[in-house]
């Protein structure tokens, strides 16, 4: 029982760490983009309020099915290029965390934390492939076509139903573990 409790705590810590890294990196990139566009950006202290990125439902899904998601920092993004960059930033960060976790596991670091972080990052990557408006794929679609983004907003309930079915049948966890196996 004690070992299960320890594993749940490590799983929660890995998912919280991943949520914060994922959303904080996108918030920082957003500020850099805005400054490069010549927009005067006031130092935004709210991006450093990292607890705002932690989604309780995302933690539950992380523990149950290795499929976390985070609360995005709400920006008002009006141009397509910024949407694309932020969407791809999210995916790149998740791939980077996954690669670092695999590297750490191969080199014998902490036998508990890194496997959970690898599974969570693979799971979160898969979750963000769903074209839900606030997920990374939604941002990428908005960056390429406003028309298609409108279509995914109109199809929101159907997309979320498919997402729930993927969770119900544990497909995301299955795929995450298979991906980890390929790299180990």
User: Distance (Å, rounded) from C-alpha 10 to C-alpha 63?
Assistant: 10
Confidence at residue 15, expressed as pLDDT on a 0 to 100 scale:
96
Confidence at residue 169, expressed as pLDDT on a 0 to 100 scale:
94
Per-residue pLDDT tens digits of the chain, which is 184 residues long: 888 999 999 999 999 999 999 999 999 998 898 888 888 767 667 788 889 999 999 999 999 999 999 988 776 677 899 999 999 999 999 999 999 999 999 998 777 899 999 999 999 999 999 999 889 999 999 999 989 999 999 999 999 999 999 999 999 999 999 999 999 8
Confidence at residue 55, expressed as pLDDT on a 0 to 100 scale:
94
Total number of domains constituting the chain: 1
Confidence at residue 134, expressed as pLDDT on a 0 to 100 scale:
87
The runs of H, that is alpha helices, within the chain are: 2-36, 56-65, 80-106, 113-128, 136-144, 146-154, 156-168, 171-183
Confidence at residue 161, expressed as pLDDT on a 0 to 100 scale:
96
Confidence at residue 93, expressed as pLDDT on a 0 to 100 scale:
98
- Residue 24's contacts (CB-CB under 8 Å, 6 or more residues apart) are 47, 48, 50, 53
Confidence at residue 135, expressed as pLDDT on a 0 to 100 scale:
93
Confidence at residue 46, expressed as pLDDT on a 0 to 100 scale:
78
Q: Residues 125, 97: contact at Cβ < 8 Å?
A: no
Q: State the residue range of the domain holding 157.
A: 2-183
């Amino acid at each position: 029982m004690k070992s299960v409790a320890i594993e749940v705590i490590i799983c929660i810590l890995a998912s919280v760490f991943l949520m914060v890294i994922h959303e904080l990196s996108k918030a920082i990139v957003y500020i850099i983009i805005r400054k490069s566009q010549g927009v005067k950006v006031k130092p935004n202290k709210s991006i450093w309020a990292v607890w705002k990125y932690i989604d309780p439902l995302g933690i539950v899904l992380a523990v149950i099915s290795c499929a976390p998601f985070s609360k995005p920092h709400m920006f008002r993004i009006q141009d397509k290029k910024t949407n694309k960059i932020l969407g791809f930033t999210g995916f790149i960060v998740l791939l980077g965390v996954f690669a670092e976790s695999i590297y750490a596991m191969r080199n014998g670091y902490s036998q508990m934390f890194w496997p959970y972080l690898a599974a969570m990052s693979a799971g979160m990557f898969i979750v963000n492939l769903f074209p839900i408006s606030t997920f990374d794929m939604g941002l990428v679609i908005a960056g390429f076509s406003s028309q298609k983004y409108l279509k995914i907003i109109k199809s929101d309930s159907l997309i979320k139903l498919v997402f729930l079915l993927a969770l119900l049948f544990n497909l995301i966890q299955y795929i995450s573990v298979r991906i980890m196996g390929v790299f180990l």
